[in-house]
């Protein structure tokens, strides 16, 4: 290996043979690049906010397999949404980038004219992107087939997955929030971010003193809206709260909004995603003039034939909203789908077995980490930075790698489906448009693991995981590591900005409640399409 020594006089480049004595120079010698990197990273990680916290960092050169920096590399830490790196890689290996989810309408009944004698079954295949428009399209296919009357019931079949809706270790306090929506083989996404299992609650002010007008999108009776909110005077300051009651389908809207204010929008989870899907589909049939006798749940018989079908986008395309926006529901759906496809059991137990086996085949020792869900929402998950970095290195030769890497958030990119959870961060630095990495945040946890190219165009993989800090999330320190790696190989005399200075480039990032598990940039107030 050659060590490059920049002489301060004459800008002469001297190449030293390993083991040879360093040449004598007339002025103080600047630190070598590797030493400067270690010194700078040590300084960043000596921030008082990390005192007493668990800090794990690994920087790896995938070309030479050299470790450029390590700090407690094998310490198992809560990864938050960095767990999605494991889940997404396993899904690509197990299901393939072309995998699509299916949602079907089936029947075993007989047709006579425009009458169907028998039941209609809405059978879900786990598609987290199903929208009300997609259910309307299924209803259109039924009408186009000539059926106007169903002498039977419309039944929801969610048997593709088991009946566990929440993963091990999820906290009850998170239940009302969209990032912890129940998982079902039948679900509805109310927006283009595909936040499945949620409903959009819209609150419009009326006249001062009168109730706020509340509606849902899509329209549904799967939730009961309890409206306690009032319209305030136009010059008043008020806050609106939208919370689903624990373990119930009641969504309580309280507080107030000033007259003349914009429509308030908030996502709420739905207690029973299967009933929600069935309700949206039933409404679509009724709107098209199709009559039926009743509705409920039931499993389609084996002999049932397909009357209508919707296929999702392929997995390679779903990776973008999944990883860019850190969508928890997508991760859990993929875990259960892997279990169903490869173990004939749509459960977390079976799906996580597939994750472990696929990652084991990639050289990730399953005895050295623990995953109890696919999204990282559970605090029972435990992964070391060394394993995260190893995974990032290992997958670089996979045929789907470029699609996967492009789906990771990109630092400083303003387009949401490019920058994702890093869109508001590291702008104006060497990391902007360079660092592709998965974020992770929850109470007492922040993480960033991904790829960066140095000033010398050397690719590096890195993993930074902080646990147990008591301050506000020190994302600026996490980002400072990535920025310093992007500068690796620059003039060592160039001053390195402090983490606080870097954090001022974070743009529109907004802090979030401590119970929320992932990146702050996706509050509805920051142009989230909800």
* Number of other CB atoms surrounding residue 362 within 10 Å: 15
Residues 6+ apart with CB under 8 A from 162: 336, 345, 346, 347
* Range 63-85 burial, b when 16+ CB lie within 10 A, else e: eeeeebbbbbbeebbbbbbbbbb
- The one-character DSSP state at 382 is B
Q: What is the largest CA-CA distance in the chain?
A: 99
* Residue 326 appears among annotated catalytic residues: yes
**3-state helix/strand/coil string of 426-448:** CCCCCCCCCCEEEEEEECCEEEE
Which residues are bridge partners to 115 per DSSP?
A: 112, 149
Q: Residue 480, SS3?
A: helix
CA distance 229 to 211: 6
How far apart are the C-alpha atoms of 281 and 131, rounded to whole Å? 10
The torsion of the CA quartet 88, 90, 91, 93, rounded to 10 degrees, works out to 120
Which residue, 116, 87, 122, 57, is CA-closest to 281? 122
3-state secondary structure of 477: helix
Is the sign of the CA dihedral 301, 302, 304, 306 positive or negative? positive
84 catalytically annotated: yes
Among 460, 462, 444, smallest CA distance to 514 is for 444
Q: For residue 199, which phi and psi values (nearest 5 degrees)? A: -125, 145
CA distances from 167 to 205, 348, 351 (A): 37, 7, 12
What are the φ/ψ torsions at residue 266 (nearest 5 degrees)?
-150, 145
The tokens describing 395, both together, are 């997958």
Cβ atoms of residues 85 and 391 within 8 Å: yes
Compute the distance between CA of residue 302 and CA of residue 62 in angstroms, rounded to an integer: 50
Query: How far is the C-alpha of 36 from the C-alpha of 349, rounded, in Å?
Result: 46
Could you say which of 131, 203, 326, 463 is catalytic?
326
Residues marked active site are found at: 81, 84, 326
């Amino acid at each position: 290996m050659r060590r490059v020594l920049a002489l301060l006089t004459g800008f002469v480049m001297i190449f030293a043979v390993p083991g040879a004595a360093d040449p004598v120079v007339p002025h103080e010698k600047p630190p070598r690049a590797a030493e400067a990197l270690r010194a700078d990273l040590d300084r960043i990680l000596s921030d008082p906010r990390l005192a007493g916290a668990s800090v794990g960092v690994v920087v790896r050169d995938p070309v030479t397999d050299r470790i450029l920096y390590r700090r407690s590399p094998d310490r198992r830490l809560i990864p938050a949404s960095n767990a999605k790196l494991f889940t997404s890689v396993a899904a690509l290996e197990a299901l393939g980038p072309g995998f699509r989810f299916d949602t079907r309408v089936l029947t075993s009944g007989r047709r006579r004219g425009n009458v169907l004698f028998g039941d209609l079954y809405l059978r879900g295949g786990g598609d987290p992107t199903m929208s009300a428009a997609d259910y309307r399209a299924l209803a259109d296919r039924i009408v186009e087939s000539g059926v106007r009357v169903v002498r039977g019931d419309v039944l929801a079949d969610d048997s593709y997955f088991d009946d566990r809706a929440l993963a091990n270790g999820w906290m009850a306090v998170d239940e009302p929030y969209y990032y912890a929506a129940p998982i079902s083989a039948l679900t509805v996404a109310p927006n283009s971010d595909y936040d499945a299992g949620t409903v959009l609650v819209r609150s419009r002010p009326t006249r001062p003193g009168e109730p706020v007008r509340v509606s849902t999108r899509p329209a549904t009776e799967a939730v009961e809206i309890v409206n306690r909110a009032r319209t305030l005077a136009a010059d008043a300051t008020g806050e609106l709260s939208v919370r689903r009651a624990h373990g119930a389908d009641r969504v309580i809207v309280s507080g107030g909004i000033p007259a003349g204010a914009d429509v308030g929008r908030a996502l709420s989870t739905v207690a029973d995603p299967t009933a929600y899907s069935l309700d949206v589909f039933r409404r679509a049939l009724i709107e098209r003039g199709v009559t039926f006798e009743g509705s409920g749940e039931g499993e389609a018989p084996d002999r049932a034939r397909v009357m209508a079908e919707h296929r999702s986008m392929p997995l390679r395309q779903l990776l973008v909203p999944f990883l860019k926006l850190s969508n928890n529901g997508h991760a859990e759906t993929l875990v259960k789908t892997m279990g169903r496809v490869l173990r004939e059991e749509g459960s977390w137990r079976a799906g996580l077995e597939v994750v472990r086996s696929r990652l084991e085949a990639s050289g990730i020792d399953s005895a050295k980490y623990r995953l109890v869900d696919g999204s990282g929402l559970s605090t029972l998950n435990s992964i070391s930075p060394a394993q995260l970095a190893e995974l990032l290195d290992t997958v670089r030769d996979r045929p789907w790698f470029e699609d996967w890497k492009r789906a990771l958030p990109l630092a400083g990119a303003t387009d949401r489906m490019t920058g994702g959870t890093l869109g508001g961060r590291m702008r104006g630095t060497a990391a902007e448009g360079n660092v592709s990495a998965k974020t992770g945040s929850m109470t007492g946890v922040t993480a960033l693991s991904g790829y960066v190219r140095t000033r010398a165009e050397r690719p590096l993989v890195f993993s930074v995981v902080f646990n147990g800090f008591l301050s506000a999330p020190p994302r600026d320190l996490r980002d400072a590591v990535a920025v310093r790696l992007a500068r690796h190989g620059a003039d060592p005399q160039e001053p390195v900005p402090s983490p606080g200075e870097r954090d001022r480039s974070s743009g529109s990032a907004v802090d979030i409640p401590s119970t929320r598990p992932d990146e702050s940039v996706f509050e509805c107030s920051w142009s989230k399409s909800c």
